[in-house]
Each structure stands twice: as structure tokens, then as C-alpha cells.
């Protein structure tokens, strides 16, 4: 049976056709055009979930996403919704004596349409919680010493907070 299939003209033709089709699909070049994103181009990003000083550590990565398409000469180089990578630079949890918490986040890069990373600069956001130090001290002295353990509020960056970053250096993106 195997010899009959090997000698069949139809199966030889089919194998030749499939081999040519495979080679044609594998080596077809796409006509990509390189578009340069100038340094200083503004990219707006936002967070989709709250960022709280209560549960963060320095160096932790946080996901943001691009707010609007970034276009150069009418061509989209960074799509709306593209992921952006941010990192916690500074964090302070709320402490006793009413000391507030604080958090600072820096957006480092965004993803271009060709999948490459575009580095950003000047994209930081800082938030402080509510200071309750005066109330803790007054209540601790006048009413009860246990009020001195009262914590301030943690800092929270609300979802939808927009940060404008700038492209750090000129980069070419394939579109």
C-alpha cells in the first residue's frame, strides 16, 4: 500500500504543491516602514487599579496603560491601551503618632506597535496620605496614651490617574 502511495502522481503533485506553499509563506517579506519617535514626544499613561502605600515595596513593578494613540506623521507608533511598565521608587507606610504614608511611582517604558520597548522619562507621580499627627498627640495627652498609637492614612493613587511621560531618546519603530 505504501509503495502505491509513493508511486501515485497525485500524491507527488500534492507534496510538491504543499512544499512550494510552505516555502512561499515562510519567506514572504513584510514591507515595514521605520518611523522615528523623536525624544521628548509626550505619552500619557494611566493606572487601572488603586496604588496604595499600605501594600507596596520599593522596586515593585506596576502595570499602567497608554491613554491615547501616539502618532508620528499620521502613523500610529504606540497604540491606545498598550502596556506601560512602572516601578515604585519610594514608599512609606502610615505609622503611629498619626504619621501619613506616601508613595512615588515612576513609569519607565511603554510598548510600541512593533513590540519594542520605548523608554520614558519625567513620568512620576507622588501621593501622600492624611496626616493625623496633631490629633493623635492631643488626644494622647488629654484623653488616653493609647491615642498615640493612632496611625495616619496611607497614600492612595486613585485608578485613572494620568501621568505624562516623555520619550527618553529618539527610537525607530517598525509600522
Show the DSSP H helices in 47-132 as ranges: none
Per-residue pLDDT tens digits for 151-170: 667 888 999 999 999 999 99
pTM tops 0.85: no
Q: Nearest CA to 110 among 86, 76, 74?
A: 86
Contact 127, 89 (CB under 8 A): no
Per-residue pLDDT tens digits for 96-143: 655 678 899 999 999 999 999 999 998 888 888 755 555 545 555 555
pLDDT at residue number 153: 77
pLDDT of 11 strictly over 80: no
Which grid coordinates belong to 114?
Answer: 512593533
Q: Which helix (H) or strand (E) holds 59?
A: none
| Domain boundaries, given as residue ranges, for the chain | 32-174
Per-residue pLDDT tens digits for 26-61: 555 566 788 999 999 999 999 989 999 888 999 999
pLDDT at residue number 64: 95
Contact 151, 99 (CB under 8 A): yes
Which grid coordinates belong to 71?
Answer: 502618532
| 88 DSSP β-pair partners | 105
Greater pLDDT, 95 or 146: 95
32-174: CATH topology: Lipocalin (2.40.128)
pLDDT at residue number 167: 95
pLDDT of 83 strictly over 70: yes
pLDDT at residue number 136: 46
Amino acid at each position: 500500500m505504501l509503495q502505491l502511495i509513493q508511486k501515485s502522481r497525485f500524491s507527488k503533485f500534492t507534496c510538491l504543491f504543499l512544499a512550494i506553499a510552505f516555502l512561499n509563506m515562510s519567506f514572504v517579506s513584510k514591507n515595514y516602514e521605520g518611523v522615528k519617535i523623536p525624544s521628548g514626544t509626550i505619552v500619557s499613561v494611566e493606572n487601572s487599579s488603586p496604588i496604595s502605600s499600605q501594600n507596596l515595596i520599593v522596586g515593585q513593578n506596576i502595570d499602567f496603560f497608554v491613554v491615547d494613540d501616539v502618532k508620528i506623521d499620521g502613523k500610529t507608533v504606540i497604540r491606545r491601551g498598550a502596556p506601560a511598565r512602572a516601578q515604585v521608587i519610594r514608599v512609606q507606610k502610615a505609622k503611629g503618632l498619626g504619621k501619613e504614608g506616601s508613595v512615588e511611582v515612576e513609569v519607565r517604558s511603554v510598548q510600541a506597535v512593533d513590540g519594542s520597548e520605548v523608554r520614558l522619562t519625567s513620568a512620576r507621580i507622588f501621593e501622600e496620605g492624611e496626616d493625623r499627627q496633631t490629633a493623635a498627640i492631643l488626644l494622647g495627652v488629654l484623653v488616653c496614651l493609647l491615642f498615640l498609637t493612632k496611625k495616619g492614612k496611607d497614600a492612595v493613587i486613585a485608578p485613572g490617574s494620568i501621568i505624562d511621560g516623555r520619550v527618553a531618546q529618539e527610537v525607530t519603530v517598525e509600522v
